[in-house]
A and B are shown apart, each in its own frame.
Chain A
Amino acid sequence: MSLEQGDIAKLARLARIRISEESSEELRQRISDILGMIDTMQAVNTDAVDPMANPHDATQRLRADVVTEVDQRDDFQRIAPATEDGLYLVPKVID
């Protein structure tokens, strides 16, 4: 699978990573190589195989509906880039 420049731009957009023009071509090349390696999977017929998401095919354990957490806002916000009045600040969100 060989990607085109536009594909890289689309992926970068979905992943919210800015890609500079200088690095874009190298990235395209490398990712195309990786996808080429991955494509060897396609030769195997897996029609009758159930996908496996967890190595033990285990099922979800449930938690009792109990409040266990206390307010640690100050600790958590000490490491935040920008806060005010207990809120995390980001550039204006436009709906």
Chain B
Amino acid sequence: MQWEVVIGLEVHVQLTTKSKIFSGASTAFGATPNSQACAVDLALPGTLPVLNEQAVNDAILFGLAIDADICRDSVFERKNYFYPDLPKGYQTSQMDKPIVGHGVVEIRLEDGSTRNIRVHHAHLEEDAGKSLHEDFHGMSGIDLNRAGTPLIEIVSEPDLRSAEEAVAYLRKIHSIVTYLGISDGDMSQGSMRCDANVSVRLKGEEEYGTRAEIKNINSFRFVERAIKVEAQRQIDLIEDGGKVVQETRLYDSDKNETRSMRSKEEANDYRYFPCPDLLPVHIEQSLIDSLQKQMPELPDAKRQRFETEYGLSTYDASLLTAERSIADFFEACSKVAGDAKLAANWVNGELSAALNREGKALKDSPVSAEQLGGLIVRIRDNSISGKIAKQVFEALWNGDGQSADEVIEAKGLKQVSDTGALEAMVDEVIAANPAQVEQYRAADDGKRKKLIGFFVGQIMKASKGQANPGMVNQLLNKKLSD
């Protein structure tokens, strides 16, 4: 049987406002427990919410970025349920009139094809606090610092058809929100979290299968694995004659399995209704227009520009534009280097590998865009070979020098292009290897090309790699033919 997986994602994105969505408490990450939970966040009796302007602007920016309608009179509602990390006993969220309406996100798959994924809506809401389960004599500890941090929840239609598509979609959302600068998108700190609605059906079937919701997945990798393992669980279940039940499940990354969250099984009735402490948020066209003007270049537009302006391949341009920080780095580097293709190769190649190897983010890269650009300049003017360039990069990475020039100078890595010095070296190698010279001279053109490599190698060895390979080749050709 041919199964099709159907996935819809609900992505929660923490906004990078300075203060909370409804209070003046700080949203800074990592403060001591409850030191950033003010009277409003703690839901002290008598406290009231006032909406943060920046959170509204951020949500509108996101809406504009996915070509969505902005609701001109959106409404905050109370979602009622009891949980210790939810101080008011309700979450202030949006239901009937979310600020961002239908939109579209284009995803690009590995084979280069693209698909449009529809966004049902995106709404503003407040984050909850955290329950810490370390044992306090059989009790849990509640930290409400996170309570009231602004979130946008982006709800997709069930348009995704594989775990890979889901990841591509999530990465795209990540790149949009970080391009807009409305979130740091840091999944490890919970700035971006994802719930996946997963169901399966036979290929060609019209009706959706019963879905399970996998809650709180906190990395790209886990999204992929959780969806795969959940889809397989459902397929196995159905093939064994069972039925999928609609429920909330949790992904256990250690065991790579999903399991039912029985404690949340209880039929919920959230009793949504308009929050009487907040009024409808009226948005003027003039605000939308002014935000539209502030809109930065978005990933798709930037990728296209990189292809046309720099002549890069779609693949390279996609890699470089996945994150705004990478794109900015590339453009700064390319400007100094004076060669976009070389810059792209170095950013996507050596730099990216080094970052991966050390698990570093680009913002923590020890090599700056200007340093890398300076290095490329020296490759272009033949001061160093590609091979030496890697050594220079390594040195810059380790902090052994402020610039490529400084490293080249200090370590004496400058390529030998002095004809006299090179001629001497070539003569020496020819004199030292008469047998090979004999062989070379006896060979035809085809073979000669291979045999010359031996001599080049010897010379590079003698020069510790600093001989200009082009000149060496030229000299050898000339001398060996004499």
Contacts and interface: CB of A to CB of B under 8 A. Distances in A.
Direct contact between the two chains A and B in their complex (CB within 8 A): yes
A90 B140 contact: yes
Interface string B14-51: 00011100011110000011111111001010000011
Contacts of A87: 33-34, 132, 136, 141-143
A12 interface: no
Interface stretch (B52-60, B290-298, B322-330): B52-60
Chain A interface main SS type: loop
B136 A67 contact: no
A58 B277 CA distance: 12
A95 interface: yes
Interface string B84-128: 100000000000000000000000000000000000000000000
Interface stretch (B61-69, B278-286, B373-381, B467-475): B278-286
Interface in A61-95: 61-69, 71-73, 76-77, 82, 84-95
Contact of B279 (A59, A63, A82, A93): A59
Interface residues of A, number: 34
Interface stretch (B236-244, B268-276, B363-371, B394-402): B268-276
A23 interface: no
Contact of B142 (A60, A64, A76, A89): A89
B140 A92 contact: yes
A90 B142 contact: yes
Contacts of B19: 63, 65-69
Nearest to B87: A88
A31 B131 CA distance: 36
B82 interface: yes
Interface string B66-86: 000000010000001011100
Contacts of A63: 19, 24, 50-53
A17 B318 CA distance: 55
A60 B53 CA distance: 10
A62 B329 CA distance: 36
A38 interface: no
A53 interface: yes
A54 interface: yes
Given A16-B82, A95-B261, A90 B53 contact: no
Interface string A23-40: 000000000000000000
A76 B41 CA distance: 11
Given A72-B39, A88-B84, A60 B282 contact: yes
Given A73-B35, A86-B32, A62 B25 contact: no
Contacts of A92: 133, 138-140
B34 A53 contact: no
Nearest to A69: B38
Contacts of B281: 59-60, 62
B6 interface: no
A65 B80 CA distance: 27
A77 B141 CA distance: 13
Interface in B124-161: 131-133, 136, 138-144
Given A76-B42, A87-B132, A87-B143, 17 more contacts: A53-B280, A60-B278, A62-B51, A65-B17, A65-B53, A67-B19, A69-B25, A69-B36, A69-B39, A73-B35, A84-B139, A85-B141, A87-B34, A89-B136, A92-B133, A92-B138, A95-B261
30 contacts: A53-B274, A53-B280, A54-B279, A59-B281, A59-B282, A60-B51, A60-B280, A60-B281, A60-B282, A61-B50, A61-B51, A62-B281, A63-B50, A65-B18, A69-B23, A69-B24, A69-B26, A76-B42, A76-B44, A84-B136, A86-B35, A87-B33, A87-B142, A89-B140, A89-B141, A90-B84, A91-B138, A92-B140, A93-B140, A94-B263
